[in-house]
Structure formats: structure tokens, C-alpha cells
Amino acid sequence: MNTFRSGILSIAIAAFCGFIAVFLTNWQLTRDFAPATLHVLVFLGLTGWVALRTWKRNRAEDWLQPWWIPGLAFFGVYGVAFGVVLAHDPERALLPWLGVLFASFSALLVFSLMKKNEDNTNENDLLQRFPPQRFRLVMLLWLVAGTVIWGVYIAKMGGLPLFADAVEGGRVAMAEKGGGALRLGVYSLVVWGWFVWYDAFSGKTLGRFTRFGGTLWVAILLILLANRAPLVHLFAVPVLMGLAWKGRGQGSATFTSRLPALLALAAMAWIGFGMLGAMRLLSDPTLRHYPEIAYYADGGHVFQLGMKIPADYLLTTARNYLQVFDIAPEFYGFRYGGSYLDPLWTALPGKQYALAMQLKSVLGMQFKGGGVVPGVLGEAWINFGALGFVLVPALVSCVLVGLYRMHRRGKSPYWTLGYLFLLVHLGSNMQSGLMATSIFPVFVVGVLVVMRYAISIESDKRP
């Protein structure tokens, strides 16, 4: 059996066994065990088994296969987190569980129908050079323009969100004052970082100091806005490049050579995500009085709070997934695809009223910060009902496969960057939704289209 079919079969078996484990957590004979722990161990073990098969193949570029990053994110949100919630609330979870089941097999069906698309072409040989002179000029102007826009944005907000009296709620209010157009102008620097690091693997037009210094500068600007999502995208896309590509003239990297770095980066991301979240919570005196926060605040256990926040975020998403079935369609009618378009006409005036904020309003919640994230499957239910569990995963999988093929044909770095972004977007937003919180995915496509005409590509592939 070829490697492609073996990989698909492994994921299918892992998914099937994981779903059986969901029922086992509530089976009478497991009453003496910790059901949540059992479910987590089963999913982690099976996901590790699939990873082992790729390890044996030992090709680092396999990380760019279209089912890997989204598949791991799906296991994390709807396998581990949802399994923990399901173990504690089994009575109302039959329909949500069936949604997870149908979504899994819908995506697996698309991947299994994908024609064998493996050749001996090295991933590095697919990369193309940017024309050096034009690339240097555009990158310099882009960085300067983005920095100026950041300064105007900060001035319009009246201060730095990171140092607001109550960061968790204050950053949202300040962002509305700053306006959506300026915010998107600043976030374009995220895409700037991707171009810089693509160049690092394809042609090294820019020097190491410019590459690292520019990325650090952009990261500082984004940190001062106290928003984690742009930082995740800034670093995650180059990390994927580093996993799959070794650099010009150095051959192909191996999976095993990249694994220690991957684990270290994953730990750093968990710590960074959690600590920024802890800082945002503890900066608000009104939030410090909540019992679940007061223990950490009063005892000085800030690091422990930071480590707990990412896990709580996943569990909250799983609970929100159960909650959307109580909301739609009785209190919030099916949108039939409308929620995916909401950010387009609400972002630029300044106050985004995407699906997460709408659900927060419907539930009558007044907490500070963002909205109620439904997750990718909760978003699918709200739009199309039960049909969404089949339709949305199938469509997303088709787009993933299509972009992956364009990348493997080496047609253009813009296809490659778009594909890497989609992998990261699905991986980092499985718990929030495709378009439930931000216009950023559409904005990225627009930036790539503009840059396609701003920087022409040399027609020959590099040797």
C-alpha cells in the first residue's frame, strides 16, 4: 500500500478509535477510571501513532501535506477538549458528537479521493526567487509604511493597548477608536514577515540582520497592540517553512531533524500565548476578584495561570460548541453562509460585528474582551444546520487540496504563501471559526493579490 493511502488509513483508524473512546468514557465499566484522562490519552496516543508513520518516512516536507496541521488541530479541539467536556456532560452531546463524526469522514473522503500527487521533486526546488532590486525596494517601503500606519493608529487610539489600565477589555475599545482600516494596515506587516522568510529559503536577497531585525521590530509593534492572533500568524508561517525547507543548496530536511525544534517551538508558543493572556487578565482589577483568577493573583502564581489559560481556552471552545445547539435555530436563525461574510462589511468602520460578537449579544453576556467563539463546527451548524457538518469540511478540504497542488507545481510563491497561511489559519482557528472573529483571512488574500503585481517573479525555477 502506498504511503499516501497508508497515511489516510492511519488517520481514519485514529479518528474511528477516538470516537469509540468517547463512548467508552461513559461506559459503565469505566466508572472507576478518570474518563476525561482516558479520552485525552487515547487521542494523544493515536495522533502520535499517525506521527510515527510520517517519522518512518522521514521527510520533513510531509508537514505540508494538507491533512496534517488541520488534522492535529481537529484532534486537539474536537478530540481532546470536546472529549473532556463530553465526559462531564454526556446527555446533551449526541448531536454535537454526530457532527464531529460526519465532519471527520467528510474531510477524510475528500483527502482519500485526492489523486496521488507525490513525486521526487524536492520542496526546495519548488521555490522561486524574487527579483532582488524590486524586492528590496518593496520590502523597505512596506515596512516604513506599516510602521507609520502603526503610529497613526496608536495616536488615534490615544495610547498603547498593552499598557491600558484594563488590557482585556480596554484593547477592544481602543481598537474600535483606532478604526478597522488602520488596523488592517498594521496587520499587513504580518504578511511582510512571510515574504521576508520565504526569501530566506529561496534566494536570500535580504541580509540576516534585516531579516531578524525586521521580524523582531514587527513583533514588538504587534505585542504593543496586546493581540495574540497576529503574532501567531507572524511566526507560524515561517515555522512551517523551516519545518519543510532546509534552504538553498542544502537538500531536503528530515522529519526527525526538525522534531526537537518543533517541540521546543510548541512549548514556547504555549507559554507565550498563556503569559500574554495572564497579563491581560491580571491587569484588570475587576477581573482579579473572580475566584478562578483570585487564587493565582493573590498567591503570585502568574506562571501557573499562564500555563492554564491555553487549556481553558480549548475547553471553553468545546463548551461553546455544545451551546450553539441551544441557540440556533431557536434564538438565532440559520445564516446559510451569511456569517462568513459578516466581517467584510463590519470591519472597516472600526467595530467588527462578526459571529463571535453576535453570539455574545444573543446570550446576553457582558464579559470584557472578545466574543463567544463557536469553533469551526459550531460555525458550520449556525450557518447550515446538520448539512454544515458535511458541507463545510468538504469545501475546506477541497480548497486545501487545490492550493497544495498549486504549491507542488511550483507555479508561484503567492500560491505557496496562501496555502501556508490557510494551514496556519485552520490550525490556530479551529477553536474559533473560519470567519467568526476577523476579516483577516480575506485581507491576506487581498495583500497577496496586490503583491503579485507589485513584485514580478523570475520565470525560471532555481536549480
Query: What is the 8-class DSSP label of residue 67?
Result: T
| pLDDT exceeds cutoff 70 at 457 | no
Peptide bond into 329 cis (omega under 30): yes
Q: What is the mean pLDDT of residues 35-48?
A: 54
Instruction: Return the number of other C-beta atoms located less than 10 Å from residue 74's C-beta.
Output: 25
Q: Please state the separation of Cα 131 from the chain's center in Å.
A: 31
The whole-number average pLDDT for the span 114-131 is: 66
- Of 35-39, 49-53, 110-114, 153-157, the least confident: 35-39
pLDDT given for residue 367 in this prediction:
62
Highest mean pLDDT: which range of 215-219, 293-297, 304-308: 215-219
Percent of the chain with pLDDT over 70: 72
Residue 21: burial class (beta carbons within 10 Å; 0-12, 13-18, 19+) = buried
| Percentage with pLDDT > 90 across the chain | 22
How confident is the model over 267-293, as a mean pLDDT? 77
Where do we find the cell 453576556?
365
Give me the pLDDT at residue 383, please: 94
Give the pLDDT of residue 3: 47
Give the Cβ contact number of residue 268 at 10 Å.
Answer: 11
Which of the four pLDDT bands, split at 50, 70 and 90, describes residue 19? Answer: low
pLDDT, average across residues 156-168: 83
Taking only the tens place, the pLDDT of each residue in 134-148 is 899 999 999 999 999
DSSP 252: -
Cβ(338)–Cβ(394) below 8 Å: no
Q: Is the pLDDT of residue 197 over 80?
A: yes
How large is the average pLDDT for residues 280-308? 75
pLDDT over 90 at 215, yes or no: yes
Higher pLDDT, 22 or 282: 282
Question: Does pLDDT of 384 surpass 90?
Answer: yes
Q: Average pLDDT for residues 199-226, to the nearest whole number?
A: 90
Residue 44 vs residues 9, 14, 79, 264: alpha-carbon distances, Å: 17, 10, 9, 18
Mean pLDDT of the chain, nearest integer: 77
Residues 6+ apart with CB under 8 A from 334: 328, 382, 383, 384, 385
Q: How far apart are CA 403 and CA 416, in angstroms?
A: 8
pLDDT at 156: 92
> Looking at the chain, how many residues does it have?
463
- Distance in angstroms (rounded) separating the CA atoms of residues 82 and 152: 42
At 220-244, the pLDDT tens digits run 999 999 888 898 899 999 988 887 7
pTM, to two decimals = 0.83
Q: Which amino acid is at 444?
A: V
- pLDDT, residue 259, reads 63
As a whole number, mean pLDDT of residues 158-175 equals 80
Residue 61 binned pLDDT confidence (cut-offs 50, 70, 90)? low
124 vs 201: CA distance, rounded Å: 8
